[in-house]
A and B are shown apart, each in its own frame.
Chain A
Amino acid sequence: AQTVTQSQPEMSVQEAETVTLSCTYDTSENNYYLFWYKQPPSRQMILVIRQEAYKQQNATENRFSVNFQKAAKSFSLKISDSQLGDTAMYFCAFMKPNAGNMLTFGGGTRLMVKP
């Protein structure tokens, strides 16, 4: 079974600054997908960024980028130029393909962007 750990329950960052959220996972699989999801207060969960384990290049989506270290089983999310709208819970998730594609989530990090 896979496990996902987010060691930072809460973080805060000043508007326009950069923040990095940590995620580690444990698996014996070689092929898998990793995701970061954002859940704003009282709103639905939306996908921020995804990474395929067989790709060495780190994924980037505008202000969001990841640092994927496969050997270390680490998958951190960097948010650049933080905006007030980035305030949310952030969940790291693992997916093993070809087995239903269900997601295993970490416990989440609550990010507060301060003006």
Chain B
Amino acid sequence: DTGVSQDPRHKITKRGQNVTFRCDPISEHNRLYWYRQTLGQGPEFLTYFQNEAQLEKSRLLSDRFSAERPKGSFSTLEIQRTEQGDSAMYLCASSHSDSNNQPQHFGDGTRLSIL
């Protein structure tokens, strides 16, 4: 069990650029979640996948955000035309759907800074 892996750990970019983050969940986990955490706050749910299907999207996920999980394994989160307000930690988590009792395991996150 190598845990949830996120890449990159840090991303600095200029406003208006596009960025893409990757998340590799724990291999046997079929659910994958994306959260956003701003400084000093708790994480906020963005979206989740069960296998390759994106089943829920938060209203926080504007049309500049898109997430994919094409083969039901790793996932990518893309932000187009980044804005200052997109600066945050983007957390990925995974779990298995066989029980509601299964906890979510989190990755280290990708910290995005918009200049």
Contact = CB atoms under 8 A, between A and B. Distances in A.
A44 B106 CA distance: 6
Interface string A83-115: 000000001010101101111111110000000
Contact of B33 (A4, A52, A102, A107): A102
Given A103-B45, A105-B42, A107-B42, A97 B100 contact: yes
Interface residues of B, number: 28
A105 B100 contact: no
Given A35-B103, A100-B55, A100-B56, A45 B45 contact: no
Interface in B83-107: 91, 95, 97, 100-107
A16 interface: no
B72 interface: no
Given A100-B56, A101-B100, A108 B41 contact: yes
Nearest to A9: B40
B101 A103 contact: no
Given A43-B108, A101-B31, A106 B42 contact: yes
A44 B42 contact: no
A33 B100 contact: yes
Given A33-B100, A108-B41, A102 B48 contact: yes
A108 B40 contact: yes
A105 B44 contact: yes
A101 B56 CA distance: 10
A93 B48 CA distance: 17
Interface of A: 4, 6, 33, 35, 37, 43-47, 50, 52, 91, 93, 95, 97-98, 100-108
Please give me the 7 A-B residue pairs with the lowest Cβ-Cβ distance, nearest first. Answer: A105-B42, A97-B100, A45-B106, A102-B45, A47-B103, A44-B108, A100-B56
Given A6-B42, A47-B103, A105-B43, 4 more contacts: A44-B109, A50-B101, A101-B95, A101-B104
